[in-house]
Amino acid sequence: MTDIVWHQHEIDQAARGRQKNQNPVLLWFTGLSGSGKSTLAGALEHALFNAGFHTYLLDGDNVRHGLCKDLGFSLDDRDENLRRVGEVAKLMVDAGLVVLSAFISPTRAERERVRNLFPEGKFIEVHVSTPLSVCESRDPKGLYAKARKGEIANFTGISSPYENPESAELTIDTSKGDLATQVQALVDYLSALQVVDGEKMMAGLGI
């Protein structure tokens, strides 16, 4: 690795962001299976896209079809899965995009490693704090039922712990309120940080 040197290109993240009239960041949605991470991230991306912003959504299942298809679900493989996702997200933010990621990412250490890839203010942790009982009642993939029967080992929330974030930038419980209100809370936060232009956002949403 000593012979590998990072090449600094003339066009940087700031220039790419200015071209797109946005402040590139990573929003990291973390929470239990069934908490609503993907739904919430997808709805926010839809709102941003409709308002003319440049985005990309990295989803836990989707990356395992290509980028991480060689990985299983052991603890080491899960760590490697998130390491790869973090590095890809870093490149996408460098490209000037507003990146959204939806991963259980159960440990604080895993999430902190991704956070440390980014300058201050470029990593926004969104804790989707929906209670386990609600997540299990939804069970969209039937995973909780299998975990309760012992058919899935190391299942987060059942046989493996989930460590709640201690200082997430945002916390949203999808069992409270509706999706539109939850997305608006995210939009308001991004507008306050000047990640996106609030007036452009409202115009795109017809507000």
* Class of residue 8 by CB neighbours under 10 A (exposed 0-12, middle 13-18, buried 19+): exposed
**Of 33, 105, 129, 160, which residue is the catalytic one?**
105
Contact indicator for 35, 129 with CB cutoff of 8 Å: yes
105 is catalytic: yes
Tokens of 120: 């201050």
> Coil, strand, or helix at residue 17?
helix
Nearest to residue 128, comparing CAs of 43, 19, 61, 56?
43
C-beta atoms surrounding 188 within 10 Å? 12
Residue with tokens 């990621």: 101
Residue with tokens 């969104």: 126
Buried b (16+ CB within 10 A) or exposed e, 21-57: ebbbbbbbbbbbbbbbbbbbbbbbbebbeebebbbbb
Amino acid at 134: V
Tokens of 193: 């940080």
* Residue 39 host element (H or E): helix 37-50
- Which residues are designated catalytic? 105
